[in-house]
Chains A and B, each alone.
Chain A
Amino acid sequence: MRHSFLDQYSDRDSLIHRLDPRTKLVSTFLFITAVALTPPDGWVSYALYSAILAIWLMLSRVPLGYVLKRSLVVLPFVVLIAIFIPFFREGEIAGSYNLWLWQVSVTHSGIIILRNILIRAWLSVLSLILLTSTTKLPDLLRGLEQLHMPRVMVMVLSFMYRYIFVLVDEVMRMKQARDSRNFGGRRWWQIRTVGNMIGTLFIRAYERGERVYAAMMARGFDGQSRTLKRLEFKPADAYFGLSLGTLVIWGNLINLI
Chain B
Amino acid sequence: MHIPDGFLNMATVASTYTISVGGVANAVRIANKKLGEKQVPMMGVLAAFIFAAQMLNFPVAGGTSGHLIGAALAAILLGPWAAVIIMSAVLIAQSLIFQDGGLLALGANIFNMAIIASFSAYYIYRLAQSLLGDSGKGQLIGVFAASWGSVLLASIACAVELAISGASPWGVVLPAMAGVHALIGIGEGLITSAVVSLVLATRADLMRLQKI
A and B from one complex? yes
**Which A residues fall within an 8 A CB radius of B?**
6-7, 28-29, 32-33, 35-37, 70-71, 73-74, 77, 80-82, 84-85, 88-89, 113, 117-125, 128-129, 131-132, 137, 140, 150, 152-153, 155-164, 166-168, 170-171, 175, 187, 190-192, 194-203, 205-206, 208-210, 212-213, 216, 221-223
Q: Which partner residue on chain A sits nearest B166 by CB separation?
A: A113
Closest beta carbon of chain B to A31's beta carbon, Å = 10
Q: Which partner residue on chain B sits nearest A129 by CB separation?
A: B99
Q: Which partner residue on chain A sits nearest B100 by CB separation?
A: A73
Closest beta carbon of chain A to B202's beta carbon, Å = 7
Contacts of A213 in B (CB 8 A): 38, 41-42
State the CA gap A9–B82 with chains docked (Å): 33
B150-184 vs A: 1/0 string, CB under 8 Å?
Answer: 00000000000010001111011100110010000
Q: Which partner residue on chain A sits nearest B78 by CB separation?
A: A206
Contacts of A201 in B (CB 8 A): 49, 52-53
- 18 example contacts (A-B, Cβ-Cβ < 8 A) are as follows A36-B10, A70-B99, A81-B7, A84-B173, A132-B97, A153-B28, A155-B40, A157-B44, A157-B93, A160-B93, A162-B44, A171-B52, A175-B56, A194-B191, A195-B195, A195-B198, A199-B195, A205-B49
Q: Beyond the given A37-B10, A195-B195, could you list 11 further A-B residue pairs with CB under 8 A, ordered by the A residue number?
A: A7-B97, A82-B167, A88-B172, A117-B7, A119-B6, A122-B6, A124-B5, A128-B5, A195-B193, A198-B53, A199-B202
- Are B5 and A32 in contact (CB-based, < 8 A)? yes
Q: Does B142 contact A (CB under 8 A)?
A: no
- Are B42 and A160 in contact (CB-based, < 8 A)? no
Q: Does B116 contact A (CB under 8 A)?
A: no
Q: A171-B52, A209-B41 are in contact. Are A194 and B58 (CB under 8 A)?
A: yes
**Which B residues fall within an 8 A CB radius of A?**
2-10, 13, 24-25, 28, 32, 36-49, 51-53, 55-59, 68, 73, 77, 85, 88-90, 92-93, 95-100, 102-104, 162, 166-169, 171-173, 176-177, 180, 187, 190-199, 202-203, 206
